[in-house]
Chains A and B, each alone.
Chain A
Amino acid sequence: MPNLNRIKAISEKEVFHILRDSRTLAIIFILPLLQLIIFGYAMNMEIRQVPLVVDDHALNSSSRALVDAFIQTDYFRLVPKGPGVLDPGELFKQRVAQATLSIPKGFNQDDFTAQLKIDASDPNSAQMIQSYATGIVNTWSAKAGVGIALSPLILYNPDMKSSFFFVPGLIALILVMICALLTSISISREKEMGTMEQILVSPVTATEILLGKVLPYIFLGLMDALLILAVGMLLFQVPFRGEFAVFLGFTFLYVLTSLCLGLLVSTMAKTQQGAMMTALGMTLLPTLLLSGYMFPIPSMPPILRRITYIIPARYYLQIIRGIMLKGNSVQHLYQAGLSLVTMSVVMLVIAARRFKLRLS
């Protein structure tokens, strides 16, 4: 039976280490913020204020209404057309405009034909611009009572704000990285410093050491989650539709899973450096690529899809998007939660078995 006082003693000691080690503190609080801000802005795939040059030959109420429809949105910004004939190629080359709209003389009730040209040197942006423009035209034509507008209905994130996707995803990514990193070095540090040799010659058991080391980091992990959430909501205006207690409960499970992953890594690594590299390798890319963060899981080949079942972020992503965007409650999420609990237990048991109470 693990002895509670010994677990407490080890936890206490870990807290002293954390408080004295500015490097660890930096990992815990500064790294996540940097990551959030850098990832946040770098991964922002939205396009705003696309420079648009309009060449209006009709100059009637209909054409003005169409142009207004464009520039009233946040997506386009009107750039004044210079003198002479409109030359989209030249404008794109000089990066004055990313799109041009030509409205011919006969633009009226009989013939609503206009031409939009888009600079597609960046295909992603071009596609976004096209879909914005289509949306605007459809809305306008519906309002004007011409033609049939096809408008896709997008739920939860009607504006397709990418921050709604990446902020919850970043919470999942950063938490698993930081937590795994923290526990992974906590045991290899003792091996490297030689302190392991001293504490092993005592009645302490592997389970006591592991539990004692996990406990303080659970608290830190949760603090981190709150920090990222708060900054994410402030900087990127992400909504939080669910209940806070549900968020805290499930985040606790995810933090636990990530810490256990770190412990497992640290029972394998001999040096702190090796442990850090392994922890990063096991969390960063798999979480980015296989959790459903960047690429949807259903579109993955069957082998990769199977691998996603052992990626903790897969479950947490479902949980946190559910809570933040859909306002899910426990009954929607308990299955994902159970998966996390199972993973934690399995990893902790393997770690305890691998943890050698002798020197090798």
Chain B
Amino acid sequence: MNVVEAQELSVRYGATQALKSVNLKIPEAMVYGIIGPDGAGKTTLMRSLCTLLPYSEGSIKVLGYDALTESAQIRASIGYMPQRFSLYQDLSVEQNLRFFAKLFKVKKQEMLSRREELYEFSRLKPFAKRLAGNLSGGMKQKLALSCALIHTPKLIILDEPTFGVDPVSRVEFWQILHELNGDGVSIIVSTPYMDEAVQCDQITLLHRGEVIGQGSPEEIISGWQGKLYNIKGDNLQEMFKYLQSKVDKADLQLFGSEIHLYSKTALHKEQIETWQTEYPGLKSCVEIQPGMEDVFLRMMQ
């Protein structure tokens, strides 16, 4: 069964088209990633799946319900975590949890045991009385996740849950997601980070409102055609400028202290040696296996 089926989904904000004919099939019990840079349409897609946005064309089915006509059923059975921290900052951790439990009509006894479970994985119990506004970024996200999980939904939709969270908390957050997934919860998560993309079972790559790739991260990476070279050397900026004059600009990418060069065919040894004579600062040029980010940047072009 698919937890989400979207067909030819288009969303417009006035003149701008946020989503263009998006097709999506998300099987159950997966960690499914919606990957894309800022402005790719991730939030629009997530909100559409949560029935928060009216869409102009296409159709969405979530857990078998139609997003336009059966939004009440969808809202009752999913958990949602918006991109912005959206809990009540002037309510304590405990009060926020209790409030959302009541909104979802969770029985008191059930709520209490569920809360203990959630406290266990989030380790928020010592902060139960603290106001949500006074929690750290990572703790806020864990609380938001807990609130989205209080009614034990089968599907949770998380919009950039690790936005603005420190690296350690990010790792911890993803561990929690995998644990939840192990318990059978289907998870749809959006993120601009490629290291998070590879942690998903399947992903959809989104760029300017369009799907540019779908499949498991391995499939997407193995779909790479051509060669990738890692170039190291002195004075990165200058070297980059030099290389731009030699190859197609679109094939070059700055990667921290290195440059990645895409080539359809293997580079000749002589070619590299010519560059090294012309620009002595160029220390090495070695073929490497592409990562998710290389693939994504290539696909965007």
Measuring CB to CB, which residues of chain A are less than 8 angstroms from any residue of chain B? 3, 5-6, 8-9, 12-13, 16-17, 20-21, 193-195, 197-204, 357-359
Residues on B with C-beta less than 8 A from A201 are 50-52, 75, 78, 80
Query: Can you list 19 contacts pairing A with B, beta carbon distance less than 8 Å?
Result: A5-B105, A6-B103, A6-B105, A8-B102, A13-B95, A16-B90, A17-B88, A17-B90, A193-B86, A195-B87, A197-B86, A198-B144, A201-B51, A202-B100, A203-B72, A203-B104, A204-B103, A358-B53, A359-B47
CB distance from A142 to the nearest CB of B (A): 68
- Judged by a CB distance under 8 angstroms, whether B180 is at the interface is no
Q: Complex formed: what's the CA distance from A357 to B76 in Å?
A: 14
- Judged by a CB distance under 8 angstroms, whether B91 is at the interface is yes
A13 touches B105 (CB 8 A): no
Q: Complex formed: what's the CA distance from A8 to B252 in Å?
A: 60
- Judged by a CB distance under 8 angstroms, whether B216 is at the interface is no
By the criterion of a CB under 8 Å from any partner CB, how many residues of chain B are at the interface? 32
Q: Complex formed: what's the CA distance from A197 to B46 in Å?
A: 12
Residues on B with C-beta less than 8 A from A197 are 47, 52, 82, 84, 86
Q: Which of B47, B71, B84, B90 is the one whose CB lies under 8 Å from A357? A: B71
Residues on A with C-beta less than 8 A from B100 are 202
CB distance from A205 to the nearest CB of B (A): 8
CB distance from B74 to the nearest CB of A (A): 9
- Judged by a CB distance under 8 angstroms, whether B127 is at the interface is no
B52 touches A359 (CB 8 A): yes
Residues on A with C-beta less than 8 A from B91 are 13, 16-17, 20
Question: What number of residue pairs across chains A and B have CB atoms under 8 A from each other?
Answer: 76
B53 touches A359 (CB 8 A): yes
Q: A8-B102, A202-B103 are in contact. Are A358 and B86 (CB under 8 A)?
A: no
- Judged by a CB distance under 8 angstroms, whether B54 is at the interface is yes
Residues on A with C-beta less than 8 A from B147 are 198
- Judged by a CB distance under 8 angstroms, whether B99 is at the interface is yes
Q: Which of B47, B72, B84, B99 is the one whose CB lies under 8 Å from A194? A: B84
Residues on A with C-beta less than 8 A from B78 are 201
B82 touches A194 (CB 8 A): yes
CB distance from B164 to the nearest CB of A (A): 14
B86 touches A203 (CB 8 A): no
Q: Complex formed: what's the CA distance from A204 to B80 in Å?
A: 14
CB distance from A271 to the nearest CB of B (A): 16
CB distance from A201 to the nearest CB of B (A): 4
B72 touches A198 (CB 8 A): no
Residues on B with C-beta less than 8 A from A359 are 47, 52-53
Q: Complex formed: what's the CA distance from A204 to B75 in Å?
A: 9
Nearest A residue (CB) for B78: A201
Residues on B with C-beta less than 8 A from A204 are 103
B75-113 CB contacts (< 8 Å) to partner A = 75-76, 78, 80, 82, 84-91, 95, 98-100, 102-105
A3 touches B90 (CB 8 A): no
Residue of A20, A198, A199, A203 with most chain B CB atoms under a 10 A cut-off: A198
Q: Which of A13, A21, A198 is the one whose CB lies under 8 Å from B86? A: A198
Q: Which of A9, A20, A203 is the one whose CB lies under 8 Å from B99? A: A9
A203 touches B76 (CB 8 A): yes
Nearest A residue (CB) for B47: A359
A202 touches B87 (CB 8 A): no
Q: Complex formed: what's the CA distance from A204 to B100 in Å?
A: 10
Q: Complex formed: what's the CA distance from A12 to B101 in Å?
A: 13
